[in-house]
Chains A and B, each alone.
Chain A
């Protein structure tokens, strides 16, 4: 069965500190992994996807198939990064989309 776990419900870091939001998954196949972000009073929006190997707003995420992880990282956190972050997995063709429970990132001044 597909599953996405995010072990931290809340993560607090100081501005300028590195941040890593953890995501692990279980899926019997080749999944597509995503990170979504929800800023206060805004809709969920895609932050990045593993397939495009991009860096958005300074965030990167590498898919580690051996560890079945897709951790989100940023070397220097900013206050505007404070938001709810969701890791998500797709089984392909847009079906079977599964979200993790989310991690609330709080960047302190």
Chain B
């Protein structure tokens, strides 16, 4: 199946700094990438939909100036958490899919655990 990678897998940063998380589709071109947030033992919460070459679509309640998403190529999307605060600590997961994937399904990255001190 298709492979999606995320980097870094774990990051610890100080409050007020910015953190960039990369999501790559390794063996297919993803026209669409999704960014999720997951709290312990809870469901995925969709943050935004990222379409290659255009602005991301953010879900209600997600601050677009705080969570900057860039999808500059068909294999890479980045999520930057700007001026991170402890409440931003969470597990961030990306998925990639689109017309190039079988059955239009989503393939998930392993996630990035962000801890803001």
| Chain A contact residues, CB within 8 Å of chain B | 32, 34, 36, 43-46, 49, 51-52, 86, 88, 90, 92-95, 97-102, 104
Tell me the minimal C-beta distance from A4 to chain B in angstroms. 10
Q: Are A51 and B103 in contact (CB under 8 A)?
A: yes
Tell me the minimal C-beta distance from B12 to chain A in angstroms. 19
**B34, B95, B110, most chain A CB atoms within 10 A:** B95
Chain B interface residue count: which class? 20 to 34
A-B CB contact pairs (8 Å), 9 listed: A32-B105, A46-B105, A88-B106, A90-B104, A90-B106, A93-B98, A94-B106, A97-B34, A99-B43
Query: Could you count the A-B residue pairs with CB atoms below 8 Å apart for me: how many are there?
Result: 61
Q: B97 to chain A: which residues have CB within 8 Å?
A: 94, 97
Q: Are A43 and B105 in contact (CB under 8 A)?
A: no
Q: Looking at the complex, which one of B44, B99, B105 makes contact with A99 (CB distance below 8 Å)?
A: B44
Q: B41 to chain A: which residues have CB within 8 Å?
A: 104
Q: Are A94 and B101 in contact (CB under 8 A)?
A: yes
A88 CA to B41 CA, complexed, in Å? 18
**A44, A45, A49, A86, most chain B CB atoms within 10 A:** A44
- Nearest neighbor of B6 in chain A, beta-carbon distance: A43
Q: B98 to chain A: which residues have CB within 8 Å?
A: 93-94
| Chain B contact residues, CB within 8 Å of chain A | 1, 31-32, 34, 41-44, 46, 49, 93, 95, 97-99, 101, 103-111
Q: Are B99 and A86 in contact (CB under 8 A)?
A: no
Q: Looking at the complex, which one of B93, B95, B99, B111 makes contact with A93 (CB distance below 8 Å)?
A: B99
Q: A45 to chain B: which residues have CB within 8 Å?
A: 108
A98 CA to B49 CA, complexed, in Å? 11
**A92, A94, A101, most chain B CB atoms within 10 A:** A94
Tell me the minimal C-beta distance from B17 to chain A in angstroms. 26
- Nearest neighbor of B97 in chain A, beta-carbon distance: A94
- Nearest neighbor of B110 in chain A, beta-carbon distance: A43
Q: Are B43 and A93 in contact (CB under 8 A)?
A: no
- Nearest neighbor of B101 in chain A, beta-carbon distance: A94
A93 CA to B101 CA, complexed, in Å? 9
